[in-house]
Amino acid sequence: MAIDHLSLYQLTIEQGTAFGDRYNAGRLAGLPNDDLGADMYELTQDLCGEAGMPSYEVSNHARDGAQSRHNLVYWRYGDYVGIGPGAHGRLTINGQRTATECFSNPKRWLDAALTGDTEKPREPLAREDQASELLLMGLRLREGIDPNRFFDLSGHNIDQSAINELIDLNLLHVQKDRIIVSNQGFMILNAVLRCLLEA
């Protein structure tokens, strides 16, 4: 029923939330196990692809030209402004990549908006943190990342043995100077990212 874009996310039960408490108490019946969740993800990919809306990001599907320009900015690790309670941003100020975070309490944020001071103190991001964020965001995309950009940010290459291991497991591939997560890799993206970041 979507016209040109569809975002599909499986429910994640986070500890320390009301859902987490209910799940721990056994009061969330009918949730799919990991195997069924993987089957549902594969079926989603097939159905959306057949409908002319292939995935361009791990959880987003679109007809050609209808990809979210807003979301692509941060998945491609561009600059973006966070506005509103709890919003995060990444800005390059005087050549320094900076993390921004607004107050999360809506009343505190609104009161602070009257004085133009809605953010917590801005923090400069270390080059290694920037490179990690590039991997975390960019490998969500079907287009993957340019490893040269990772090098430019961190000053070192992504560990080649980790890349080779993931290629051997058919979770990753390298194509035209880009590192791209495979269809199988998308189903366990957190594990793929952990392998690359901890190498």
HEC sequence for 48-68: HHHCCCCEEECCEEECCCCCC
What is residue 86's predicted lDDT score, i.e. its pLDDT? 95
Collapsing DSSP to helix, strand or coil, 18 comes out as helix
- Distances 170 to 11, 31, 84, 135, 195 between C-alpha atoms, Å: 26, 28, 41, 18, 14
Q: Read out DSSP for 130-175?
A: HHHHHHHHHTTBTT-B-HHHHHHHHSSPPPHHHHHHHHHTTSEEEE
Return the pLDDT at 105: 95
The pairs formed by 65-72 with CB atoms below 8 angstroms and a separation of 24 or more are 66/4, 66/5, 67/5, 68/5, 72/141
Amino acid at position 87, single letter? A
**pLDDT tens, the chain, 199 aa long:** 668 999 998 888 889 999 899 999 989 888 888 899 889 999 999 999 999 999 999 999 999 999 999 999 999 999 999 999 999 999 999 999 999 999 999 999 999 999 989 999 999 999 999 999 999 999 999 999 999 999 999 999 999 999 999 999 999 999 988 999 999 999 999 999 999 999 7
Q: What is the Cα 123 distance to its own chain's centre?
A: 21
By three-state DSSP, how is residue 98 classified? Answer: strand
Is residue 143 within 8 A of residue 181, CB to CB? The reply is no
Q: Which helix (H) or strand (E) holds 21?
A: helix 18-24
Cα dihedral across residues 135, 139, 140, 141: positive or negative: positive
Whole-prediction pTM: 0.86
What was the pLDDT predicted at 39?
92
Q: Which amino acid is at 68?
A: S
Placement of tokens 């400069």 in the chain: 124
